[in-house]
């Protein structure tokens, strides 16, 4: 993984960082900005990349208008109406959400043949990210894709220690109810937030996936010696 953080920035600026880095690596190692993904589909990585909110992507590519995260029954009904047989009545909202994302949205992103950003994830999936100031039902989180290949996950950082503690407690309870175990609260992290943290954004990008994408054969073994050769000329 490659991680970086930017002070006084938000998830939109991080999204721009990602597409510029990916375009630079593709141009450097493959000589152009159109590459073949591991499934043999051509992907244009030229910035700027199209952006889709999660809600719009679900509606466009799956034919599903997302109900609120506390309405698992509504999401199940919408998925069944859209012809998804893999959704079970026992699935909670998050499980059903990811089935839709993986089975309907990601394959559709692959067919666009572009680098693309998925933004504004449902608030319960915020984790460490800040909620949108204009729409608190979504988090300022962005996942970036090359066609259907997910490359990175980034977000505007949550800097409020009280809100972060509340989320840790909620996640601990959810995990306990599912698995019977409790994770320790990261008190050192919370103490750091309490000292004061400026607005910031960060991202983690799968370096192996990026190298796989730009390799002419989609094979990391092919690319490794070429990367070392390039490093030797710098």
Q: What is the pLDDT of residues 168-204, one digit of tens each?
A: 888 888 787 877 777 788 999 999 999 988 999 999 9
Which CATH number is 43's domain given? 3.30.930.10
For the chain, the domain total comes to 1
> What pLDDT score does 233 carry?
45
CA distances from 25 to 83, 107, 117, 134, 187 (A): 39, 24, 18, 34, 38
> What pLDDT score does 202 carry?
97
> What pLDDT score does 29 carry?
85
CA atoms within 13 A on the CB side of 172: 11
Query: Which residues of the chain fall below pLDDT 50?
Result: 228, 230-234
Determine the Cα–Cα distance for residues 69 and 233; give it in Å rounded to an integer: 52
Domain boundaries, position 159: 2-232
pTM exceeds cut of 0.85: yes
> What pLDDT score does 228 carry?
47
Residues with Cβ within 8 Å of residue 110, at least 6 apart in sequence: 37, 39, 41, 147, 148, 149
């Amino acid at each position: 993984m490659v991680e970086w953080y930017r002070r006084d920035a938000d998830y939109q600026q991080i999204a721009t960082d990602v597409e510029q880095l990916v375009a630079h690596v593709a141009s450097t190692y493959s000589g152009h900005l159109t590459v073949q993904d591991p499934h043999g589909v051509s992907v244009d990585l030229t910035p700027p990349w199209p952006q889709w909110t999660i809600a719009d992507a679900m509606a466009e590519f799956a034919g599903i208008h997302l109900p609120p995260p506390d309405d698992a029954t509504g999401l199940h009904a919408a998925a069944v109406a859209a012809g998804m047989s893999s959704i079970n009545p026992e699935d909670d909202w998050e499980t059903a959400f990811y089935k839709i994302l993986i089975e309907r949205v990601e394959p559709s992103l692959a067919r666009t043949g572009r680098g693309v950003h998925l933004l504004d994830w449902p608030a319960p999936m915020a984790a460490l990210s800040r909620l949108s100031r204009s729409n608190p039902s979504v988090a300022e989180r962005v996942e970036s894709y090359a066609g259907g290949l997910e490359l990175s996950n980034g977000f505007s950082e949550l800097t409020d220690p009280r809100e972060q503690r509340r989320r840790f407690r909620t996640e601990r309870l959810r995990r306990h109810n599912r698995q019977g175990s409790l994770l320790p609260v990261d008190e050192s992290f919370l103490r750091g937030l309490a000292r004061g943290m400026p607005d910031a954004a960060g991202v983690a990008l799968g370096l192996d996936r990026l190298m796989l994408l730009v390799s002419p054969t989609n094979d990391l073994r092919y690319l490794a010696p070429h990367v070392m050769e390039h490093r030797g000329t710098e």
